[in-house]
């Protein structure tokens, strides 16, 4: 075969130029292997196909990815679970069909995310009562007039900080840096005569922690709401939060919020944050604890000012109460009589459940619904009765999980597959069982399964069968974390009951596992799934440094033969490193 010397020089010059670019970027100059080692070279894309302009942007991105050697896309859209009920369902369907046509033209595999059990908003959009329920047991209520009012079962002392010595608020287990980083403030306050202010806490505390903590008595298995007013000025730090601990277990995970243009927005890390007084409102379940530690503060604080005022706690048994057949609601008297709904008390529902700002989105700010007795009630005036029911839990920025076992959940999952097959005709399905942080508390689950791990195994088996029945033998994929004993499939995971160990028993051998989560146990998880016979893909990048992330994974996968692919994974829609990632991972000249 004759080779043109000029062509060779051009190839060599291009290769030298790429090597120079990789060197300057701090990336490895030798990829992990030729492109052929990874049969699947994917990019993760999340988009809203109800917006026509997003289709054009998505096409440009996929063209760019295909040129860089990507041959597949993992596609996610909230509306894959709702589109057939949108006002203009045809618009979404038409754009979805265009996505399918684009990927076929580019020769790219199209895999679609389904079954959002971790971030369940799209599923809960259909029925907000399908949220995973946590129990309230025997919450005391007293009849006052025609209402049953919750009795106070927890008290936070000196929440207004009016009792103090110098700059030390009384009745608190501890207060960081009184007089040097925290101060009783007579000039800026929301209620009463004073507030408490933390200022430039990083200058006086090497950890940057500026916290207040009080131990309070609680009644086991109750839902409580904590409220406090917060104000900031040019505040910078890792996280402002309200924390509740029960015997070392975190019971309250919800982020705090600020108000921007009339709307509440969750905040995590803060950078020069300034906001007027805004009331914070979070909830927690006491589980089996009789005392808890409650905290308000900043962790990893550096500069700026943070004020707190008017801190209080209240029993909130029917805030966001869930009503479905699997979650009974009962009211009993001290003498054991069981009172009947709609005979002794009106039906209890929360009209604000899961609808702020849209269906499937939950909040803890709205007023708790009133519990009213009927005209013919057997509950006597001043009688104390006991309510048992279930409520959802909000994690971080409003994450709510759905039930893992309710039959209606699986019926909705079947609908999603049917409608996705119709609109997108995907090449495969990706089950979104990730970061399921509240599960295993519902009565049928406790009765039927020995552990939450066994419950999750049942759930994923059922979901897998739904895909097989509706979509035949198309490839099925799943996130690794909830089935990885070196990651989240373990004891003590967030607010999951008992243990998630054994969840991996529900994975059919032909499910490919998308391994994510690096660190010291990255290789352990890879070896675990390989030994169980699963092919694997690596979810790499995660909006970090391409070179460092590659080196970590390259070391972890050494000698693991089940790795079949790698994915450019961004949660910030940052595709700036798309080409550098490709050059790094499959060494394209």
Q: How far apart are CA 282 and CA 295, in angstroms?
A: 12
Q: Which pLDDT tens digit goes with each residue over 46-81?
A: 999 999 999 999 999 999 999 999 999 999 999 999
What pLDDT score does 36 carry? 59
> Across residues 362-390, what is the average pLDDT?
98
Pick one of 3.40.630.30, 3.10.100.10, 3.20.20.80, 1.20.140.10 as the CATH number of 31-128+401-586: 3.20.20.80
Q: Which pLDDT tens digit goes with each residue over 272-287?
A: 999 999 999 999 999 9
Q: Which pLDDT tens digit goes with each residue over 76-114?
A: 999 999 999 999 999 999 999 999 999 999 999 999 999
The answer to whether the beta carbons of residues 392 and 132 sit under 8 Å apart is: yes
Confidence label for 35 from pLDDT (cuts 50, 70 and 90): low
Q: How many residues does the structure list for the chain?
A: 589
Burial class, 136, CB count within 10 angstroms (exposed 0-12 / middle 13-18 / buried 19+): buried
- The segment(s) of the chain belonging to CATH 2.60.120.260 are 164-315
What pLDDT score does 27 carry? 47
Q: Which pLDDT tens digit goes with each residue over 123-172?
A: 999 999 999 999 999 999 999 999 999 999 999 999 999 999 999 999 99
Model-level pTM greater than 0.75?
Answer: yes
> Across residues 463-485, what is the average pLDDT?
98
What pLDDT score does 518 carry? 80
Identify the DSSP state of 460. Answer: H
Q: How far apart are CA 482 and CA 118, in angstroms?
A: 10
- The segment(s) of the chain belonging to CATH 3.20.20.80 are 31-128+401-586
Instruction: Give me the chain's average pLDDT, please.
Output: 94
> Across residues 412-427, what is the average pLDDT?
98
Q: Which pLDDT tens digit goes with each residue over 328-361?
A: 999 999 999 999 999 999 999 999 999 999 999 9
- Domain spanning 164-315 has what CATH number? 2.60.120.260
What pLDDT score does 37 carry? 75
What pLDDT score does 322 carry? 98
Confidence label for 492 from pLDDT (cuts 50, 70 and 90): very high
Q: How far apart are CA 339 and CA 332, in angstroms?
A: 6
What pLDDT score does 519 carry? 84
């Amino acid at each position: 075969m004759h080779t043109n010397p000029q062509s060779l020089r051009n190839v060599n010059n291009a290769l030298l130029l790429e090597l120079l670019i990789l060197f300057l970027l701090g990336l490895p100059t030798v990829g992990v292997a030729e492109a052929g080692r990874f049969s699947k070279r994917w990019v993760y894309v999340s988009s809203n196909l109800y917006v026509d302009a997003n289709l054009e942007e998505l096409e440009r991105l996929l063209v760019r990815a295909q040129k860089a050697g990507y041959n597949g896309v993992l596609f996610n859209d909230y509306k894959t679970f709702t589109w057939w009920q949108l006002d203009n369902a045809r618009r979404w369907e038409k754009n979805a069909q265009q996505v399918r046509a684009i990927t076929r033209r580019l020769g790219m595999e199209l895999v679609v995310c389904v079954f959002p059990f971790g971030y369940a908003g799209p599923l809960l959009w259909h029925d907000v009562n399908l949220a995973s329920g946590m129990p309230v047991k025997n919450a005391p209520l007293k009849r006052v007039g025609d209402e049953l009012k919750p009795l106070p079962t927890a008290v936070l002392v000196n929440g207004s900080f009016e009792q103090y010595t110098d700059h030390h608020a009384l009745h608190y287990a501890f207060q960081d840096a009184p007089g040097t980083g925290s101060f009783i403030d007579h000039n800026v306050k929301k209620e009463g005569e004073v507030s408490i202010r933390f200022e430039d806490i990083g200058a006086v505390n090497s950890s940057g922690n500026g916290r207040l903590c009080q131990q309070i008595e609680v009644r086991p298995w109750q839902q409580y709401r904590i409220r406090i007013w917060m104000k900031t000025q040019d505040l910078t730090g890792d996280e402002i939060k309200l924390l509740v601990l029960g015997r070392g277990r975190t019971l309250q995970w919800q982020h705090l919020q600020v108000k921007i243009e009339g709307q509440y927005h969750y905040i995590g890390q803060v950078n020069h944050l300034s906001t007027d007084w805004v009331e914070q409102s979070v909830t927690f379940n006491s589980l089996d604890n009789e005392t808890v530690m409650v905290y308000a503060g900043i962790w990893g604080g550096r500069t700026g000012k943070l004020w707190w005022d008017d801190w209080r706690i209240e029993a909130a048994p029917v805030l966001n109460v869930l009503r479905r057949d699997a979650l009974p609601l009962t009211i009993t008297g001290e003498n054991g009589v069981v009172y009947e709904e709609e005979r002794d008390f009106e039906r209890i529902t929360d009209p604000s459940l899961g609808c702020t700002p849209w269906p499937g989105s939950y909040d803890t700010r709205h007023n708790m619904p009133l519990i009213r007795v009927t005209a013919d009630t057997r509950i006597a005036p001043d009688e104390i009765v006991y309510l048992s029911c279930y409520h959802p839990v909000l994690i971080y920025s409003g994450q709510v999980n759905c039930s893992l076992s309710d039959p209606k959940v699986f019926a909705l999952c079947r609908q999603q597959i049917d409608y996705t097959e119709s609109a997108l005709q995907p090449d495969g399905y990706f089950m979104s069982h990730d970061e399921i942080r509240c599960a295993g508390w519902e009565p049928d689950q406790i009765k039927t399964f020995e552990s939450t791990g066994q419950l999750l195994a049942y759930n994923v088996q059922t979901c897998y069968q739904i895909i097989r029945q509706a979509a035949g033998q198309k490839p099925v994929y799943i996130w690794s974390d909830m089935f990885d004993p070196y990651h989240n499939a373990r004891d003590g995971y967030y607010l999951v009951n008992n243990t998630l160990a054994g969840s991996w028993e529900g994975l059919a051998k032909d499910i490919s596992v998308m391994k994510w989560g690096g660190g010291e146990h990255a290789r352990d998880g890879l070896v675990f799934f390989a030994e169980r016979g699963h092919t694997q893909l690596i979810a790499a990048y995660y909006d970090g440094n391409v070179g460092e992330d590659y080196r970590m994974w390259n070391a972890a996968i050494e000698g693991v033969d089940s790795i079949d692919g790698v994915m450019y994974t961004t949660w910030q829609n940052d595709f700036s490193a798309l080409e550098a990632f490709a050059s790094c991972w499959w060494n394209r000249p």
